[in-house]
Amino acid sequence: MLIATEPGTGKSTLGIALAKELGLPYVEGDELHPESNVEKMSRGVPLTDKDREPWLELIRTTAENEVAENRNGVVVTCSALKKYYRDVLRGRIKPAFSKQPLLEPVEGTGKEGLATYFVWINGSRELLEERIRNRQGHFFKASMLDSQLRTLESPEGEEGVVVVPLEANTEEQVRTAVEELKELMDS
């Protein structure tokens, strides 16, 4: 399961809370960025698809490895702004710049590949900007928000996506996400 959305929405906060509620391990996707990506973003330089693709592959591989270790799932945070990125994370397509083979289905899961669900935190540009300006110690700069929003292809309506409002508190977001994820998994 991926907590995916623009920067400043509280992906990490929701990811940690959701992982705790579901009894799953949590992986902070930002920590998987190569140093070159962090360096670029720290200077206010937006990442390209070529920059993001190895990171997306690493996120997918990390999730697969967590599940392969006899876990029921894992919660990972990642911006996943484009449908293309989400499809890479779903294991449906091989990144254009990849030198790696297409990811194989996870052995022992009893499924064709790894079921992937997204929890999307939806909020206004104004609230996003306010939250980014108020947070400290993060490499993402508020000046990059417009670039992220131009890149954004909303996942609303895509298969396996649950939407929670940014305006809700974390407990309400967790409750909404858990209820809607259960519905998705039961269907």
Q: What's the Cα-to-Cα distance from 185 to each of 42, 86, 160, 161, rounded to whole Å?
A: 38, 18, 9, 11
Q: Any bridge partners for residue 163, and if so which?
A: 120
Q: How far apart are CA 94 and CA 98, in angstroms?
A: 7
Terminal-to-terminal C-alpha distance of the chain? 17
* Domain 2-186 class, CATH top level: alpha beta
Q: Where are the domains of the chain?
A: 2-186
- Is pTM beyond 0.95? Reply is no
Strands 2-4 and 118-122, by their bridges, are parallel
Q: Measuring CA to CA, how many Å separate 127 from each of 10, 57, 145, 165, 170? A: 11, 30, 11, 11, 15
Whether 27 and 77 have beta carbons less than 8 Å apart is answered as yes
Residue 100: predicted pLDDT: 56
The SS3 assignment for 161 reads: strand
Residuewise pLDDT in 10s, the chain (187 residues): 788 776 677 888 999 999 999 999 999 998 999 999 989 888 888 888 899 899 999 999 999 999 998 778 999 999 898 999 999 999 888 777 665 554 454 444 334 468 899 999 888 878 777 777 776 555 555 556 767 778 889 999 999 999 999 999 999 999 999 999 999 988 8
Q: Strand 75-78 relative to strand 118-122: parallel, antiparallel, unpaired?
A: unpaired
172-175 long-range contacts, CB within 8 A, separation 24+ = 173/10, 173/14, 173/17, 173/121, 174/14, 174/17, 174/18, 174/21
How far is residue 111's CA from residue 103's CA, in Å, rounded to a whole number? 14
Report pLDDT for 20: 97
**CB burial class (10 A; 0-12, 13-18, 19+) of residue 109?**
middle
- φ, ψ (nearest 5 deg) of residue 64: -60, -40
Q: Report helix, strand or coil for 55.
A: helix
